[in-house]
Amino acid sequence: MHDDTRHVAKRVERILLERIVPAVYRETTPLQMAVWHVPGEPVPVAEALSATYEPFTTGTRWGRPWSTSWFRLTGEVPAAWAGQRVEAVIDLGFVGDWPGNQAEGLVHTADGVPVKGVAPRNQYVPIARPATGGEQVDLLLEAAANPDILAKGMLPTPLGHPDTAGSDPIYTFEKADLAVLDEEVYALQLDVEVARELAEELAVGDPRRAELLFALERCVDALDLADVSRTASAARAALAPALAKPATASAHVVSAAGHAHIDSAWLWPLRETMRKNSRTFSNVAALAEEYPDLVFACSSAQQYAWTQERYPVVFERIKKAIAAGTWAPVGGQWVEADGNLPGGEALARQIVVGTKFFREQLDVEPHGVWLPDSFGYTAAYPQLARLAGFDWFLTQKISWNETNTFPHHSFWWEGIDGSRIFTHFPPADTYNGNFDGAELAHIVKNFQDKGRATTSLYPFGHGDGGGGPTREMVEKARRTADLEGSPRVVIEHPDDFFARAQAEYVDAPVWSGELYLELHRGTYTSQARTKRGNRRSEHLLREAELWATAAAVGAGASYPEADLDALWKTVLLHQFHDILPGSSIAWVHRQAEETYGRVAAELGALVEGAAASLASGGGLSLLNTAPLPFRGVALLPAGTSGPDDGESGQRLADGRTAVLAAVDAQSASPLGAGDVAVLGVSVERDEPGTVLDNGVLRVVVDGDGLLPSITDVTTGRELVAPGHRANLLQLHTDFPKYWDAWDVDAHYRRQVVDLVSAESVEVVDAGPLVASVKVVRTFGESRVEQLLVLRAGSDRLEVETEVDWHEREKMLKAAFPLHVHADRFSSEIQFGHVARPTHTNTSWDAARFEVAAHRWVHVAEPGFGVVVANDSTYGHDVTRSATGGGPGQPAVTATTVRLSLLRAPRVPDPEADQGTHRFTYAVAPAATPREALRHGYELNLPVRAVAGAVSVPSVAATTSGDALVESVRLADDGSGDVLLRVYEPTGASTSSTLRLGFPSASVHVADLHGTALTGERAEELPVSGAGDVQLLLGPFQVLTLRVRRP
C-alpha cells in the first residue's frame, strides 16, 4: 500500500484550522459598548461604577501605553439560543501570539464583582450553561493597555516608562460578542488535536502513528465540511476507538500541575502585577469550579497578599479552592527571589516571611522551594530549605545552560554544609507548558533518569498575564491520562509528585555545590543602583533589628515589629528575580531607587530611635553592628562633631572626621572609650610615585594613579604580581548575542581598553589617621573619581569610587593582578563561601567565566592570600596567568581578581545605569577566608555614630571559636523571646562560646522560623551565670536559637 500519511496529516491540519475551530462558536451577536478612559493611574472598581461612559464601537483605537479603560458591555441572549451554552468572547486587539505582556482585561459583574480575565489565549467569559433565552448581559471590563515591550525583539524601546512611552492609542478593540459554544464541535477539536499531536511525535515506522493517522482520516471523512456542527458526533465516533486504547504499563508518568508564572515585575511595573494576579487568579478559580480535577500550583506569598488586600472576593475564592484541593500554594517564599544575590539572612527571611503568610492566611504548610525561573541557585539553599522543614526543591532554569547539559532531572542537591534536598528539574524545559503532544513527547525523550525513575513534573499554563491553565489544557490532560503512545498524565499536587518521586528514587545521584546557570551572567551587575539599594537595605535591617532588640531588652522600649515587618517585605519584594538582577523596564528600576531611599531613611530613623532609648547623656557614641570587634580608625560622616586634634581625630578633606575607636562586637560605646594604639599613616614622595605607609601596609601609587606595589609589611609579601599594576580600570565592549541586561558573553574579554591615563593624581589627606590619594580619570562621556584610602593601623586599602557613567553597551571592571598562585578562589555566598576554579580545564570550568560573590573574593596559596572586598558589587571574574619558568627560573603566577563595576545595557531599559554611582571596594592581605570575612563586614557594616552616651555590652556575640552571630531580633509572636541566627563561616567544625548581654531563662535550638524544636529533636542549651552558651557547629552550619527571657 502506498504511504500517504503525509497527505493525511496535512489534510487533517487544514480541516482542523479552517473548519473545525471556526465552528466551535456556532452563532454570535455583538454586545453594545460604552467606555470610560481613566485619566491617570488605575482606579478601584467602585470608582469605575460611578464614572460617566461614552458610546464605543469595535474597530476603534483605544489605550495609550500603560493606560486603563473601562468598558460597559451590555446585551441580551437571543431567545433562539435557549438550551445552548453561551459565552462572551472578547478581543481587546491582542497582538502576536504571546499570551502575556500586552493588553489584558478583567471582567466584572454589573455591580463590580470580578468574574474572569481575558487574554490572547483565554478570550471567553461564561454567561449561561444552558441559557434560557432572554438573559440580560451587563458586564464591566477593566482593560489595561500594557504595551508589548519586545514587539520588535531585543531592541531599545521608550515604552518601558510612562514618561517616554507616548500618548497615542496602541490597540484596536476587535470583538465583544455573545456566542453559542457548540460543545460537540469543541470536543471534536480537542480529540483531533490530541490524536494529531500524538501522531506527529511518534516515529514514522511506528504502527501506532499509522493507526492514529488513519483514524483521523476516517474522522474527517465522516465530517461534512459545510455542516460541521451536524456531523461532529459522527466524526468523534470514528476517532474514539483509537483514543480509547490504554497506555502501556511502562509508560512514563507525567505529574501535571496547572501553573501561571507571573513575574512580580519585569516588562511591567509592580502595580500591574497586582492586576495580572487578579485576572489570572479569577480565571483559575472559575476553571476549578468547572474542572474539579484541576490542581493549580501557585507560589509567592506577596502575590496572595496583594490579592487579599485589593481583590478580597478573589482571595476568598482562592481559599475555597485550596479547601477543595484544586489550588496548591507552593514555594513558601515571599516572592520567587533571585537565587544568587540576596544575603544570607534575607534568603532565610524569604522563607520565614513567606511561610508565615501561607500558614496564617491560607492555612497551608509549604513543603518545598518552587523557583522555576531564577538565574542560578546558591549552594546555601539546601540547608536553609531543610531548616525550614522543606523536603523538596524545584527549578527548570538550568535547562537554559548554553554550554553543558545538566546530567539529571531528579537528584539530591547537596549544599555547602552537607545538607541534601530532593530536587527536580521538569524535563519539559518550561514552566509555561502548552499541554501539546510535542511537549509531552519531549518530556519522555528528554528525561535523564530513565530506567531509574518513572515520573516527572509538568507545570502547564500561560504565565505573565496570559491567564494560567486553560480548559483546553485540562481537557487534553483528561484525554492523555491513559492513552497508548503517550505518557500517562495525572494532574496532582506537587507535594504528591515529590513524595512518589523520592520514594521510588531514594538512591538518586547527588549534585554538590551551586546550581550555576551558564547564561544570564550580566544579572550580577546590571542596574547597579538597584543592587546597591538591596545591599544597603539588608545591612540596615540588621542594624535596626539589633538595636531595636537592645532597646527592648535593655531599656524596655517598644519593639517596632510592624515597621520592621513592612520594611522587610518591601526589601524581599525587590529581591524578585527580575528586579534585583536588573532585568526589568525603566519604570521598575526608577521606582526601586525611590523605594530604597525611603527604606534607608525609615531604617535609619529606627536605629537612631533605639539609640536614643539607650542613651544616658550627651556626647557621641559608636554602634558596632558587625559580629566582630572593631579596633582602629572609624570615619564619621561630614557634619558630625568629633575631635580633630590630629591625634585622636583628623578632619578629612571631604568633611568627614577620622577618629580612633574600640567597640566590641554588636555593642555600643561612647566615643573615646577604650584604648586604641596604632601607628600613624604617612605619605611620602618616592621614585615610583606616592607612598602610603602605616607600618602594616605599604602602598605605592604611581603617576597614573595605579598601584604597582602593595606590600604586607608584617610578612614582607608583595600583593601585586610582578610587572602588573593593581586597581586597573578596564572598559569592555559589552554586546551579548541575545539578551542585553541579562547576559555577559565570553567574547567581551577580547575587546578591552585599559584606562591608564589619569587627569589628576593628588594627595588630599596626609595622616596621621588617614592618608588618601585622589585619582581622576575621564573616558568617553564618563568620569571616575577614586579616593585611595589607607587608615592608621589598617591592613586594608579602600578605593572609594564615584562614577559619572554615560557609556552605552560597555562594561567597566577593576582589575587586581595578585602575586598569588591559586588554582581555586573562594567567593562569599550566603552563610559561607564556595570554591571555584581559576582554570578552564573542563567545559564546566570554562563556563564559569563570570560569577556572583557577595562581600568578598579570596585567593590564596598555603600561608598567604589576598581578599578583594566590596560594599555593593556582585559580579566578578578570576583568572590566572603565568610567565617565566625553565631551568633556574621559577614560573611567576598572577591570579587576577576583577570586579564588574558597571554595565550599560539598552534592553529592556535603554537608560540602564546611566548617571552617578558610588561604591567602595578594597584589597588586603588575608591568609584565610576567616580573615577575609572581617574586611567584608567592616566595609559593609562600619561603626555608626549616634548622638548621646550609649554604652551597651555585646547584645549577643561569640567570644571564642569561629561561629558568628548574623542576626538578632525579637520573636514576632509577642513573647518577648529573642531569636539569634548563628553560623559557621569558614567551612570547619567549631566550638564557640556565645555570650548573651541580657538576662535569659533558657536557650533552645529552633528551626529557621524560630520555633523551638520539640520531641526527639528538642535541645536546650545550658547558660552559665555569665550568660555564656557553648555551641558546637559543623562546617557552614546555620543555627537558630530561641532565647526566653525571665
* Cell matching residue 458: 509538568
CA 152 to chain centre: 26
Pinpoint the alpha helices (H) of 202-269: 207-221, 228-243
DSSP line for 726-741: BSEEEEEE---SS-TT
Residue spans of beta strands (DSSP E) within 839-936: 851-852, 856-861, 864-870, 875-884, 891-903, 915-925
In angstroms, the CA 298 to CA 468 distance is 10
Classify each residue of 240-263 as buried b or exposed e, where b means 16 or more C-beta atoms within 10 Å of its C-beta: eebbeeebeeebbbbbbbbbbbbb
DSSP line for 314-366: HHHHHHHHHHHTSEEE---SSS-B-SSSS-HHHHHHHHHHHHHHHHHHH----
Given 138, 293, 373, 1028, which residue is catalytic?
Answer: 373
The reply to whether 373 belongs to the active site is yes
Phi, psi of 409 (to 5 degrees): -115, -30
Compute, in degrees rounded to 10, the torsion defined by CA atoms 607, 612, 618, 623.
-30
Residue 731 amino acid letter: L
Residue with cell 567592616: 938
Residue 930: partners with Cβ closer than 8 Å, 6 or more residues away: 962, 985, 986
Q: Is 612 helix (H, G, I), strand (E, B) or coil?
A: helix
- Report CA-CA distances (Å) from 935 to 183, 693, 857: 69, 19, 11
In angstroms, the CA 283 to CA 262 distance is 14
Q: Is 722 helix (H, G, I), strand (E, B) or coil?
A: coil
Phi, psi of 405 (to 5 degrees): -90, 125
Q: Is the peptide bond before 908 cis (omega within 30 degrees of 0)?
A: yes
In angstroms, the CA 536 to CA 506 distance is 42
Contact 860, 824 (CB under 8 A): no
Contact 343, 312 (CB under 8 A): no
* Cell matching residue 769: 589617621
- Report CA-CA distances (Å) from 150 to 144, 166, 430, 577: 17, 16, 20, 19
Instruction: List, as own/partner pairs, every contact residues 646-654 make where C-beta atoms lie below 8 angstroms and the sequence separation is at least 24, other chains included.
Output: 646/768, 647/768, 648/672, 649/769, 650/765, 650/767, 650/768, 650/769, 650/770, 652/764, 652/765, 652/770, 652/772, 653/764, 653/765, 653/772, 654/764, 654/787
In angstroms, the CA 1003 to CA 1043 distance is 5
In angstroms, the CA 73 to CA 181 distance is 19
In angstroms, the CA 525 to CA 531 distance is 8
The DSSP letter of residue 200 is H
Q: Please choose, from the candidates 164, 178, 149, 143, the residue with its C-alpha nearest in 3D space to the C-alpha of residue 61.
A: 143
CA 472 to chain centre: 31
Contact 220, 15 (CB under 8 A): yes
In angstroms, the CA 946 to CA 608 distance is 7
In angstroms, the CA 343 to CA 960 distance is 24
Contact 1040, 1006 (CB under 8 A): yes
Residue spans of beta strands (DSSP E) within 664-796: 667-670, 682-686, 689-693, 697-702, 709-712, 717-718, 728-733, 752-755, 760-766, 770-779, 782-791
Contact 864, 523 (CB under 8 A): no
* Residues tagged active-site: 373
